[in-house]
Amino acid sequence: MIENLKAFLDSKVHQYNRPEFITNDPIIIPHLFTKKQDIEIMGFWAATLAWGQRVTIINKCKELITLLDGAPHDFIMNHEDIDLKKLLQFKHRTFNDIDTLYFISFFRHHYKRSETLETAFLPLGYLNDEDGRHAAPDQQLTTQNSLNHFRSYFFSLPDYPHRTQKHVSSPAQKSTCKRLNMFLRWMVRKDDCGVDFGIWNHITPADLICPCDLHVDRVARKLKLITRKQTDWQTAIELTEQLKKFDPTDPVKYDFALFGLGIEEKF
């Protein structure tokens, strides 16, 4: 039974883990860039805005890129206050100008201290704060503690807007963290098919947690990969543990199979 299901899902990974499929997926947004920081910034933003129809998400991300003068990292690091005025018009569902301006403030704060957004996901003690070199960690690096640390760090700036907290989740809140897990998949997973970027190295593909959106959750339950009644962080863990039975080194590759089955084949 497991062998048959693995063969079926492997065939769907092969079908959907390819550039042709991502043309209409939010991951196409960071693929518009080659500079690492631009990939990180717009990847994070695209993942954050990823709810609703995919075509709308992509269009809103492209609108944001235009407002950032087509160069997100350069704009964030070098803008003047007057340059921010045009961003007051940006909105996607419940994400508004207040959230936009705080995201810019956070990115500017972080990139003044680090060349990569990856370090924002590394708990204290994992890296040497002064020179960024790998240091002996005081705790095991897991996706769970990475996401918990990131949310705490993201909202560490003075006078952060409380309304923005709803856009950045964490396991501590029992959220599935679908958007952040999707972003981590994009940044971490080593992929030779031109889909995921694999530009981060401290979190390994084996440690990733499967993004558990509506489509993935529904298909996984039909395939009996999820038995938990509610959908929360433990549900994402349960699904990922099941997927590790098929590929312990790269379980999240099956995100493509489950999502493709759900959205393309209405499985």
pLDDT tens-digit map of 22-52: 899 999 999 999 999 999 999 999 999 998 8
DSSP lists the bridge partners of residue 127 as: 134
Residue 3 has a pLDDT of: 84
pTM for this one? 0.94
- Exposed/middle/buried for 89, CB within 10 Å: 0-12, 13-18, 19+? exposed
Tally of residues, the chain = 267
**Count of CA atoms in the C-beta half-sphere (13 A) of 232:** 8
Residue 130 has a pLDDT of: 44
Low-confidence ranges of the chain (pLDDT < 70): 1, 127-139
- Exposed/middle/buried for 96, CB within 10 Å: 0-12, 13-18, 19+? middle
Q: Is 210 helix (H, G, I), strand (E, B) or coil?
A: coil
- Distance in angstroms (rounded) separating the CA atoms of residues 59 and 214: 21
- Exposed/middle/buried for 82, CB within 10 Å: 0-12, 13-18, 19+? exposed
Q: Which residues contact 232 (CB under 8 A, 6 or more apart)?
A: 174, 175, 176
Q: How far is CA 89 from the centre of its chain?
A: 25
- Distance in angstroms (rounded) separating the CA atoms of residues 64 and 26: 13
DSSP lists the bridge partners of residue 79 as: none
- Please provide the DSSP assignment of 37-62 as one string: HHHHHHHHHHHHT--S-HHHHHHHHH
Residue 137 has a pLDDT of: 52
Residue 126 has a pLDDT of: 73
C-alpha distances (whole Å) from 59 to each of 165, 193, 250 are 24, 24, 31
Residue 22 has a pLDDT of: 87
- Distance in angstroms (rounded) separating the CA atoms of residues 113 and 188: 21
Residue 172 has a pLDDT of: 96
